[in-house]
Chains A and B, each alone.
Chain A
């Protein structure tokens, strides 16, 4: 376990260094955060077009929380970078579990996702006059972190699958985040969709994390249950991600084919 933690620490440091090479504070605020704000506002303005303040708030909160899951979803692309860099075979022959490497290697998206999601809620909710008290918004921050962390398990699973199809990494990443946007109660309640879609959405941590945030903000019941389901579904996806990474490494060692998966 100590070895795993050491691998986790160094791979997280590596991921963070990658992140810092992509963004400075200026480009993060003036570039990425501006884009996030604009996308959240884009959907909030649709609520205004519909002349429905409740929908404006619903879509604003949903899109802001979705960004917590979207950013950890970038793990799909960043997992594939290892292969592009030619370091994947070295990781496969290393005497450690591939899962711990990737768990740390993509962890930079967690603080970023939590930060953008939090700032979107705190800044845009008053800007669009949603009427949510600041104390309720502040109380939602731990739930945004919960959403990001639990969504990370599913993102790693998708990343582990997409790792074998390097050429399709961006398509997989965008499809994944698109599905989350559409079917997890972000813009419209789950009840809008057919039963089988609602059933599948229950397996997605974002569905429950977002439900928890909405319950916290509205001060309604169901907060504890939503947290429990988010934790359960997130834990299950972390387990599945471990199985896939582990299996990929084992297969790669056995067949020597990990670099030729496309």
Chain B
């Protein structure tokens, strides 16, 4: 637990040394302005909640993709990977601590987006079902940590995949229904969309904002948590395979 906390703290401190790694938190307010301007220009203030929620979820996922996906590679380029392997703490624990810190910082995007809505457009988005919102967020954070672990392991295990790192964001935003719910997407996209945990998260988060009754809370949470646990397991396997491979081949560092 101490190692987990140390990795968590180290990741937080690293943001202070290189503010560019918080780039997502600079750009997402612009996306909020863009989306709110669209719904306001269309005279659809009922969609304010969609326009505020979408950039927040995008910011969270982008942090997972850009920062958490890089944590192993950062250790490698810093020349500290071999030291972490030699330490009497499981490498996976250190990775988990760093990823958790990135994802929690990514939650700042929710506050930013809400503030942009209030200050820029007078769009006060209220959470009608706070309990549902908190549960949906907790499940989403868990799944995002799992997804980030898979990405962190995959990007170092199969280096060719890094070429596509910057390309998967918007396909995921469409399939994840971050702004346009899956139900409003063409039918042929639905099967792929339902394999993306964000599609379940965003459905539930939007329901939590709406004053109407929440339907399908249990099944939605079960799917998100289920996918999250599957991601965590897959991430653990991928990271362990990476550790095994570089140890066997003697390629722990290439810095």
Q: Which residue of A lies closest to B22 (CB)?
A: A171
B30 touches A35 (CB 8 A): no
> What number of B residues sit within 8 Å (CB to CB) of A?
35
B23 touches A174 (CB 8 A): yes
Q: Which residue of A lies closest to B178 (CB)?
A: A42
Within 8 A of A (CB), among B154-202: 163-164, 166-171, 173-174, 179-181, 184-185
Q: A40-67 toward B: CB 8 Å interface, digit per residue (1/0)?
A: 0111011011101001000100000000
**Chain B hits for A171, CB < 8 A:** 19-20, 23, 26
B23 touches A42 (CB 8 A): no
Provide the bound-state CA to CA distance between A170 and B167, in Å: 17
Provide the bound-state CA to CA distance between A192 and B36, in Å: 12
Interface SS of chain A: helix
**Chain B hits for A43, CB < 8 A:** 38
B173 touches A42 (CB 8 A): yes
Query: Would you give the shortest CB distance from A48 to chain B, in whole angstroms?
Result: 7
B30 touches A34 (CB 8 A): no
A38 touches B171 (CB 8 A): yes
How many A-B residue pairs have C-beta atoms within 8 angstroms? Tell me.
97
B253 in contact (CB, < 8 A): no
Q: B13-46 toward A: CB 8 Å interface, digit per residue (1/0)?
A: 0000011100100110011011101111110100
Known: A49-B184, A181-B30. A39 touches B170 (CB 8 A): yes
> What number of A residues sit within 8 Å (CB to CB) of B?
35
Provide the bound-state CA to CA distance between A31 and B169, in Å: 11
Provide the bound-state CA to CA distance between A31 and B31, in Å: 22
Q: Which residue of B lies closest to A45 (CB)?
A: B180
Q: Which residue of A lies closest to B168 (CB)?
A: A35
Query: Would you give the shortest CB distance from A206 to chain B, in whole angstroms?
Result: 14
A31 touches B166 (CB 8 A): yes
Query: Would you give the shortest CB distance from B27 to chain A, in whole angstroms?
Result: 5
**Chain B hits for A178, CB < 8 A:** 27, 30-31, 34
**Chain B hits for A179, CB < 8 A:** 30
A192 touches B41 (CB 8 A): yes
A49 touches B179 (CB 8 A): yes
Query: Would you give the shortest CB distance from B36 to chain A, in whole angstroms?
Result: 10
Chain B residues close to A by CB (< 8 Å): 18-20, 23, 26-27, 30-31, 33-35, 37-42, 44, 47, 50, 163-164, 166-171, 173-174, 179-181, 184-185
Chain A residues close to B by CB (< 8 Å): 27, 30-32, 34-35, 38-39, 41-43, 45-46, 48-50, 52, 55, 59, 167-171, 174-175, 178-179, 181-182, 187-189, 192-193
